[in-house]
C-alpha cells in the first residue's frame, strides 16, 4: 500500500511544482486516470460495474439498484433506489444480474431509536440517493443516500473498505444500524446460507448461489468487521431482528419468496462515522477474515484508495496518446475503454475451491465469444504478464475440468454460444509470442481436444456435431448427433466458428513445429465454411432485392439446402419475433444474421472476396451491411466488419467506417455504449479502433488506420521498448483520415497491416493523411495475409455446389496457407 501512496504523493508534488512554475520545461504531469470515467456504460443496457476494484480484482464493492439493467449492480439510469452495497460483481454482462453478494445497508437510526421499527429486507429498506452525489473513480465509489448517509468504498484484491458517514446527530434518537444481507442481487441464493455475529460485531458466513449464465452453483463467503462505537448486534429474518440469537442458517425460500436474512450491528447515538472492512473468499469465511486482515491491516481508507488509484495508473500508463488538439471526450472514451478491459476477467488465484493447483486461476471469462475478438488481444498487447497468467488459468481449467471454457463465471461452466473460441484466445497469444510460464504443449492438447472429441454435454464446452463436422465439413441443420447433446441450433454460425477455430489450431501446430499432419488437417477443415455457401441465395428488404447474390444458408446432411432469411436476427429483422439466442427454437445463426456472418471467414478473406464476386462487390456488400443498419455495432460480430475493407484493398474505408461509429455510437456518457459492454469487449473495440491498429484475432495481424490522436505510444511491459503510431498532419476535425503514405522508422511502409513484433521491438510508424483515399496499402502485396489467394475466383462454384462436389480442400489455398504460416518466422 505504501508505495502507491508514495506514487500519488509524487504525482501531487509534480502537479504542484508545475503550477508554481518551478518546472517550466516540464509539461503538466500526464495522468491517464484524469480521463477515466467508470460511469460510462452504467446507463441504458451497458451493465458496466462502476464500483471500486483493483485491476482484475475479486473484491468489487459497489452500489446495487433495484432497476432492470442492474447486471453490474448499479444502473445510473433510469433513476432507481439503492438496495445495498454488495462486495462481488461482474461488469457489462448480459443474462441475469451477476453476483452481488453480501450487501451492507446503512440506517442512520431506527425510527425513534427502536430496533423493532427498523426495516431489514431489501424491498423494504431500499432508498433513493442524492442526485449528482455519485463519484466514481478507479478504485473508489461514493454516493449520498437520500437519508443523508454518505457511503464510500475502496478495495484491495480480496477485501473492500467502506466508510459510512452520518450527519445531523442529535436530531435522531438512537445510533446508526448497519445491516448485512445474505440475499444476492438476483435472489439466486440456495438453502442453508449462514451468518454468525460475534460480541464485537464481527460477522462471518456464506451461502450457495447460482451463476448468471451457466450451470451449477457456487459458494461464497465473507467476513465483516466494524470500526466505530459498536453497540448491540444480532441477526434478522424478514423484518424481525434479534439481539439474543447470534447465528442463523436459513432456507432458500418459502413459497418461492426468497427469504431475506442476515446480521445487524448498532452504534452509539451520535456516531458520525463507521468504517467496515469486508473480506471475501470463495473458499471459507476464515479465509475471508485472513484476507481482510492481511490486505487491510490499518483500516486506512485514504491509503487503500490511493493504492487502488496507483495500481490503475500503473496498468494504463504504458499507453500514452497526444492530448494535442483533441476534444476531451475522445480522450475519455479511449482511456475509459481501456480501464474497462481490466475490470473483468477476475484474478481468483488462491480462491478456487474446485481443485488444488499452483497455477493461477482467473474467473469471469464472461464470455470468450465476446472477448476473443478484441478484449483479450488488447490485454496481450497492454498487459502481457497478466494475460499470460489468464492463459495459464484457461489451460489449468482444461486440465482439471476437462475442457477449455467458452464462457465461465462464478466457478461454474458458462454456456457456449458458438465455437470453442478459447482456441482463438490461445492462438492469438501464441501467435504474438506470449511465453512466460505457459505450457504451450498442454495448450495445444487443449485446443486439439476441442477439435477432435465431442463432450457428452456440449452446452458448456467443446463443440457439438463433430462427426458431421469431420465427415461432411459442415454442421447440418437438424443434425443427427448421438454422441453429445446441446442446443441443436446455430448450424450456420457454428460451422463458421468451427472453421476458424480449426484454422487457428493449424497456426499453432505450424508454429509449434513437427506437426505437418495437423497443419494440413486443420487447414483443410478450416475450409468448411464454403460448404454452406449457397451461390444462388438472394436477400430482399421489404420485397426489394438488395441485388446481392450468394449467402451462407443452412444445409441438411443430405446436402439439400434449408432456408433462413439472410436478414433474420439482424438489426432490421423483418420478423419481430425471431428467436436468436440459445433457446432451442433459435435460429441457425447466433445473435446475428446470415448477412453479417457472411463476412466471418477471418482466415480466408481472399477466397471469400473471390466467392462473393471480387473486391468491388465485396466492398459494396460491406457498405450495404453497415449503411442499411443490418449490423449493430453493439454486438461483437460487428467488430471485424468495420475493418474488413483492408482485405479488399480499401483501408481508407475502414478508417471512414471507424469514424462513423466513434463517437456516434460510443459517447463518454452513462448511456453512451451500444448494448452491454460485455466484460470490456466494447471498451477494447474503442481502444484498438482509436489507436489505429485493429487485430484480426488469432492471427499475428493488426489492420492499420490513422489513430484518432496526433500520436499513440505504447511501451511494451515485456521489452520496455516504445512503439509509436503518429499522424504527421493530424486533423482533429477528422476530415483527413486517409493514409496517403507511411514510413516505419523512416523507411517507406506500404503494407496496410503490421505484425505484433512492432509493439515488442518498438519503432515509429508515421502516417501522412489526406482527405481522399489514396493508393497506399491497396496493392495485392500490401494486403493482410489470407489462407487462400487474392484474385483467385472460385470458378464453377455454382455448378460444383449444385452438384454437391464442393469439398473445400485448399488445393490452391493450402500452399498459400503454408506460406502464410511460414512467413516472418
Ligand X SMILES: *[C@@H]1O[C@H](CO)[C@@H](O)[C@H](O)[C@H]1NC(C)=O
Nearest residue to 91 via CA among 349, 363, 296, 348: 363
Q: CB 63 → ligand X: shortest distance, Å?
A: 14
- CA separation (Å) from 21 to 11, 27, 281, 493, 598? 15, 11, 49, 61, 59
Q: CB 204 → ligand X: shortest distance, Å?
A: 9
Give 468 or 715: the residue with its C-beta nearer to ligand X.
468
Give 255 or 544: the residue with its C-beta nearer to ligand X.
544
Instruction: Please state whether the peptide bond connecting residue 24 to the residue before it is cis, i.e. omega within 30 degrees of 0.
Output: no
Q: CB 105 → ligand X: shortest distance, Å?
A: 13
DSSP secondary structure, 36-91, as one string: --TTTTSSTT-----S---TT-S---EEEESSSS-TTS---SS---EEEEES-B--
Helices (H) and strands (E) in the chain, counts: 21, 33
Residues in the site for ligand X, rule: CB under 6 A?
79-81, 126, 128, 131-132, 191-192, 196, 246-247, 541-542, 544-547, 556, 558, 560, 572, 628-629, 772, 795-796, 799
Q: CB 233 → ligand X: shortest distance, Å?
A: 13
Give 198 or 745: the residue with its C-beta nearer to ligand X.
198
Give 721 or 802: the residue with its C-beta nearer to ligand X.
802
Q: CB 816 → ligand X: shortest distance, Å?
A: 21
DSSP secondary structure, 740-756, as one string: EEEEETTEE---SEE-T
Half-sphere exposure of 202 (CA within 13 A, CB side): 11
Q: CB 535 → ligand X: shortest distance, Å?
A: 12
Give 205 or 586: the residue with its C-beta nearer to ligand X.
205
Q: How far apart are alpha carbons 735 and 483 in whole angstroms?
A: 56
Q: CB 146 → ligand X: shortest distance, Å?
A: 9
Q: CB 245 → ligand X: shortest distance, Å?
A: 6
Location of C-alpha cell 495481424: 701
Grid cell of 609 as nine digits = 472476396
Kindly state the DSSP code that residue 698 receives in the 8-state scheme.
Answer: T
Element (H, E) at 331: helix 328-340
- CA separation (Å) from 531 to 248, 557, 806, 815? 61, 11, 6, 20
Give 125 or 315: the residue with its C-beta nearer to ligand X.
125
Sheet holding 753-754, edge to edge: 693-695, 702-704, 753-754
Q: 159: which residues sit within 8 A by CB, 6+ positions away?
A: 59, 277, 278, 279, 280, 288, 291, 292, 295, 296
Give 436 or 775: the residue with its C-beta nearer to ligand X.
775
Handedness of CA 803, 808, 813, 814 (dihedral sign): negative
Half-sphere exposure of 56 (CA within 13 A, CB side): 19
Q: CB 516 → ligand X: shortest distance, Å?
A: 32
Give 253 or 357: the residue with its C-beta nearer to ligand X.
253
Instruction: Say what the alpha-carbon torsion angle 129, 36, 701, 361 is, to the nearest 10 degrees.
Output: -60
Give 628 or 743: the residue with its C-beta nearer to ligand X.
628
Q: How far apart are alpha carbons 716 and 712 in whole angstroms?
A: 13
Give the total residue count for the chain: 825
Q: CB 572 → ligand X: shortest distance, Å?
A: 4
Sheet holding 722-727, edge to edge: 319-321, 711-715, 722-727, 763-770, 738-744, 747-748
Q: CB 198 → ligand X: shortest distance, Å?
A: 8
Amino acid at each position: 500500500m505504501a508505495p502507491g501512496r508514495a506514487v500519488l504523493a509524487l504525482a501531487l508534488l509534480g502537479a504542484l511544482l508545475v503550477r508554481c512554475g518551478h518546472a517550466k520545461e516540464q509539461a503538466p504531469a500526464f495522468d491517464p486516470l484524469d480521463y477515466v470515467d467508470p460511469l460510462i456504460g452504467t446507463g441504458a443496457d451497458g451493465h458496466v460495474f462502476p464500483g471500486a476494484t483493483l485491476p482484475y480484482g475479486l473484491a468489487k464493492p459497489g452500489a446495487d439498484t433495484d432497476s432492470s439493467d442492474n447486471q453490474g449492480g448499479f444502473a445510473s439510469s433510469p433513476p432507481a433506489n439503492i438496495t445495498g452495497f454488495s462486495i462481488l460483481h461482474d461488469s457489462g454482462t448480459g443474462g441475469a444480474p451477476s453476483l452481488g453478494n453480501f450487501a451492507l445497508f446503512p440506517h442512520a437510526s431506527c425510527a425513534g431509536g427502536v430496533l423493532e421499527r427498523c426495516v431489514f429486507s431489501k424491498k423494504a429498506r431500499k432508498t433513493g440517493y442524492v442526485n449528482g452525489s455519485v463519484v466514481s473513480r478507479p478504485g473508489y465509489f461514493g454516493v449520498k443516500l437520500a437519508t443523508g448517509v454518505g457511503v464510500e468504498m475502496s478495495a484491495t484484491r480480496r477485501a473492500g473498505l467502506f466508510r459510512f458517514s452520518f450527519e445531523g446527530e442529535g436530531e435522531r434518537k438512537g445510533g446508526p444500524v448497519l445491516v448485512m444481507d445474505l440475499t444476492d442481487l438476483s435472489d439466486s441464493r440456495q438453502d442453508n446460507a449462514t451468518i454468525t455475529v460475534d460480541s464485537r460485531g464481527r460477522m462471518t458466513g456464506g451461502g450457495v448461489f447460482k451463476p448468471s449464465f451457466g450451470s451449477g452453483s457456487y459458494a461464497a463467503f465473507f467476513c465483516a468487521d466494524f470500526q466505530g462505537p459498536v453497540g448491540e448486534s444480532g441477526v434478522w429474518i424478514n423484518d424481525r431482528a434479534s439481539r439474543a440469537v447470534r447465528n442463523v442458517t436459513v432456507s432458500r425460500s418459502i413459497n418461492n419468496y426468497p427469504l431475506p436474512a442476515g446480521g445487524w450491528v448498532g452504534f452509539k447515538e451520535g456516531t458520525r462515522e463507521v468504517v467496515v472492512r469486508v473480506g471475501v473468499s470463495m473458499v471459507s469465511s476464515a479465509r475471508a477474515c485472513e484476507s481482510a486482515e492481511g490486505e487491510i491491516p490499518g483500516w486506512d481508507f485514504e491509503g487503500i484508495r490511493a493504492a487502488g488509484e496507483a495500481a490503475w495508473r500503473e496498468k494504463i500508463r504504458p499507453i500514452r496518446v497526444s492530448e494535442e488538439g483533441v476534444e476531451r471526450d475522445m480522450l475519455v472514451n479511449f482511456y475509459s475503454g481501456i480501464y474497462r478491459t481490466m475490470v473483468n476477467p477476475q484474478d481468483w488465484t488462491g480462491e478456487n475451491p474446485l481443485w488444488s493447483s499452483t497455477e493461477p486461476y482467473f474467473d469471469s471469462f464472461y464470455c470468450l465469444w465476446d472477448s476473443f475478438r478484441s478484449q483479450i488481444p488488447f490485454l496481450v498487447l497492454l498487459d502481457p504478464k497478466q494475460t499470460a497468467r489468464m492463459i495459464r488459468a484457461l489451460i489449468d481449467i482444461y486440465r482439471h475440468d476437462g475442457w477449455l471454457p467458452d464462457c465461465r463465471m462464478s466457478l461454474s461452466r458458462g454456456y457456449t454460444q458458438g465455437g470453442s473460441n478459447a482456441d482463438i484466445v490461445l492462438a492469438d497469444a501464441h501467435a504474438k509470442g506470449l511465453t512466460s510460464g505457459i505450457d504451450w504443449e498442454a495448450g495445444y492438447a487443449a485446443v486439439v481436444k476441442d477439435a477432435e472429441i465431442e463432450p457428452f454435454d456440449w452446452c458448456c464446452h467443446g463443440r457439438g456435431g463433430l462427426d458431421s463436422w469431420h465427415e461432411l465439413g459442415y454442421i447440418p441443420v437438424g443434425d443427427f448427433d448421438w454422441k453429445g447433446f446441446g442446443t441443436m441450433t446455430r448450424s450456420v454460425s457454428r460451422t463458421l466458428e468451427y472453421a476458424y477455430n480449426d484454422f487457428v489450431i493449424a497456426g499453432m501446430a505450424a508454429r509449434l513445429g513437427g506437426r505437418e499432419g495437423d497443419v494440413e488437417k486443420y487447414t483443410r477443415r478450416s475450409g468448411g465454411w464454403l460448404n454452406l455457401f449457397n451461390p444462388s441465395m438472394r436477400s430482399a428488404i421489404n420485397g426489394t432485392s438488395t441485388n446481392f447474390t450468394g449467402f451462407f444458408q443452412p444445409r441438411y446432411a443430405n446436402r439439400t439446402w434449408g432456408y433462413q432469411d439472410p436478414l433474420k436476427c439482424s438489426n432490421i429483422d423483418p420478423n419481430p419475433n425471431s428467436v436468436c439466442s440459445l433457446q432451442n427454437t433459435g435460429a441457425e445463426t447466433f445473435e446475428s444474421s446470415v448477412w453479417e456472418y457472411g463476412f466471418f471467414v477471418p482466415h480466408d478473406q481472399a477466397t471469400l472476396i473471390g466467392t462473393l464476386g471480387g473486391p468491388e462487390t465485396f466492398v459494396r456488400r460491406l457498405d450495404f451491411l453497415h449503411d442499411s443498419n443490418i449490423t449493430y455495432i453493439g454486438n461483437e460480430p460487428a467488430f471485424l466488419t468495420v475493418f474488413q475493407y483492408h482485405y479488399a484493398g480499401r483501408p481508407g474505408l475502414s478508417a471512414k467506417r471507424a469514424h462513423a461509429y466513434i463517437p456516434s455510437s460510443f459517447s463518454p456518457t452513462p448511456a453512451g455504449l451500444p448494448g452491454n459492454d460485455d466484460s470490456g469487449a466494447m471498451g477494447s473495440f474503442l481502444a484498438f479502433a482509436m489507436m489505429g491498429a485493429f487485430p484480426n484475432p488469432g492471427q499475428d495481424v493488426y489492420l492499420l488506420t490513422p489513430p484518432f490522436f496526433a500520436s499513440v505510444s505504447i511501451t511494451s511491459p515485456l521489452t520496455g521498448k516504445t512503439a509509436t503510431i503518429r499522424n504527421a498532419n493530424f486533423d482533429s476535425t477528422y476530415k483527413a483520415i486517409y493514409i496517403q503514405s507511411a514510413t516505419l522508422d523512416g523507411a517507406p511502409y506500404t503494407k496496410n497491416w503490421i505484425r505484433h513484433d512492432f509493439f515488442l521491438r518498438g519503432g515509429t510508424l508515421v502516417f501522412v493523411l489526406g482527405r481522399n483515399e489514396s493508393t497506399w496499402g491497396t496493392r495485392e502485396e500490401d494486403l493482410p495475409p489470407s489462407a487462400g489467394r487474392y484474385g483467385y475466383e472460385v470458378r464453377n462454384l455454382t455448378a460444383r455446389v449444385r452438384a454437391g462436389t464442393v469439398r473445400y480442400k485448399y488445393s490452391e489455398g493450402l500452399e498459400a496457407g503454408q506460406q502464410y504460416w511460414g512467413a516472418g518466422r
